[in-house]
Chain A
């Protein structure tokens, strides 16, 4: 650029105004510095804003409870002693007294799995209903008119409580990729009082929050569902839209809401400490076991009383149905405390 040096005026020693000085050759590095400084300033402000928002959101998320020493809640299957002293009549009565209502949350994209669940394990629930994000031609369902998982979950639980609070005492929620053995669920719940607040499944700890992983299935007693329905009315503690910027997953949201009502998550285990709710499929668990403890692949991995597996494709559900309810070794018999009949009108169990 041309440097224009205005003729120095004889009378003036005062500094010329900037605009009159004209473009200066050395403007380039100065410009860069000013730009980069504004960039840096911007970054700092953005970061600060983000930190600010995080802490507000974090505090809102129910951190009022005092920090405990690390705690993990476990709950176990019944013992042999619990069940061995029952008479024949008591066994029948007990079997009928545990009534499980199954909620399966589905979306149109899950159609293959939806069909498989309908044709397989859900037949063993006392009642199973499919709650869908939107209406689907092929299947009947309870339409929730929302695509958001947390909202779907809320609506489903609310409806289930309104309609069925007097008919069922346990409520099992699952995704269509989950396979469940309802008989084992009932056995697990055998000595548990549904009028107590139970919230059971495969638990995970995230910071201070312990929640049931939805992938493994979620079990609520009628008391928990009752408390949940009440806290749904509280938009501060249990909002429909959780978290300011970070959306919590729906299973964490559920845990937060339940925590406010005094209901804590418990990890379900068999009498040997093995998880009975699994967030992976049998195949995945075996693959891991083959790598981690190849000398004891089966014995070291899954429970004999497993209740759920997850991550199953529709074909796998049919194989599980055969493998669980039919295929067995002759000459191995069990004296069980409960009696469950095969469902009517079914040919694959």
Chain B
């Protein structure tokens, strides 16, 4: 009986020592693993730098442009982009609503909208602070075409002379204005033409996907607005992009080919991931049958000089802004170079074709 008692004591002792050991282990691992992560102050040079060279903290002073970080772009030559900004004036209007101002439109405003010559946010109701234009409609998918008509009407009435091209986008569309200008620079805004991601069903010349965004020439806008005065087009439809596409055909506005000089699409109805990853969009998906030109998945899906992506959430807005305007591979010679001599010849040829088309349009 005594032996059982001492055995019990021994067991208790062992148990206690194990508990004590592990308790202490836990305690020590918490104490020892405490990491002091020191991040240098993000926007300033750290004074403790051992190998730091004197770069001068005056890089960030005296910036007047809307990019808050001129310091990292000291070596950047934006002459061509700035030249196009003056030459190809684009008014952007973004389809949004009161519920989406904080969630979506805000991030559009903080990113790509800044690169438009003029930006307008269109909502069913006016908001003086954001600001948004009040179209005096209701909200909802079935209102989209009506909102679109009223928005273009508003733009026509107030800003017709302020731009050459008129771009419509959603509040979850990301548009790369520099690339849009490059595309449109080869065309005349007096031509009746519009561009976007071309779909083939229902309309003979095709129509442009609403979400991927589309852009009307000055002449196209003129004809579109007039079409409702002369009843050439109907107001009622619940499918915005299709209805607009049908109207465009009725009023002889050409559905343009927005692909780049290597044949790759520039307007995209989805985010890059959905187009770049083979097999992401199932073969049975409607998309494969809708595309006017052969739809491609994988790296061939998308132009280096892409113009738009759709279904872009807020984080992806900033991510695209970063990848397009900030992060780059130093010294890298891009494979696709549209300004090479061969391509310059192509551009000259296409300009000649455009002039023919213009002459034709004027005679029609």
Contact = CB atoms under 8 A, between A and B. Distances in A.
Interface of A: 19, 31, 34-36, 38-51, 54, 58, 71-76, 79-80, 95, 124, 181, 183-184, 186-187, 204-207, 245-246, 266-267, 269-275, 282-283, 286-287, 289-290, 296-306, 315-316, 318-320, 322-342, 347-349
B244 to A, nearest CB: 27
B13 A38 contact: yes
Nearest to A184: B330
A50 B328 CA distance: 52
B335 A75 contact: no
A286 B76 contact: no
Nearest to B110: A297
A296 B25 CA distance: 43
Given A184-B329, A325-B332, A287 B50 contact: no
A283 B335 contact: no
B37 interface: yes
Given A304-B327, A318-B273, 14 more contacts: A46-B16, A46-B18, A74-B40, A183-B330, A266-B50, A271-B71, A274-B42, A282-B322, A322-B272, A330-B178, A331-B83, A333-B80, A340-B333, A349-B335
10 contacts: A42-B14, A49-B21, A272-B72, A273-B44, A286-B322, A304-B72, A322-B302, A325-B334, A328-B334, A335-B77
Interface stretch (B51-59, B90-98, B132-140, B349-357): B51-59
A302 B39 CA distance: 13
Contact of A290 (B39, B44, B48, B315): B315
Contacts of A340: 329-333
A328 B36 contact: no
A216 to B, nearest CB: 12
A334 B71 contact: no
Interface residues of B, number: 104
A76 B52 CA distance: 6
Contacts of A318: 273, 276-277
Interface of B: 2, 5, 8-10, 12-25, 28-29, 32-46, 48-53, 55, 59-60, 67-69, 71-84, 110-111, 176, 178-179, 181-182, 272-273, 276-277, 280, 298-300, 302, 304-306, 314-316, 318-336, 338
Contacts of A46: 16-24
B346 to A, nearest CB: 16
A245 B25 contact: yes
Contact of A74 (B32, B49, B71): B49
A205 B28 contact: no
A337 to B, nearest CB: 7
4 smallest A-B Cβ distances: which pairs? A42-B16, A46-B20, A331-B81, A46-B17
A39 B19 CA distance: 9
A286 B178 CA distance: 23
A238 to B, nearest CB: 20
A13 to B, nearest CB: 25
Nearest to A73: B50
B36 A205 contact: yes
A95 B331 contact: yes
B331 A183 contact: yes
B17 A327 contact: no
Contacts of B25: 50, 245
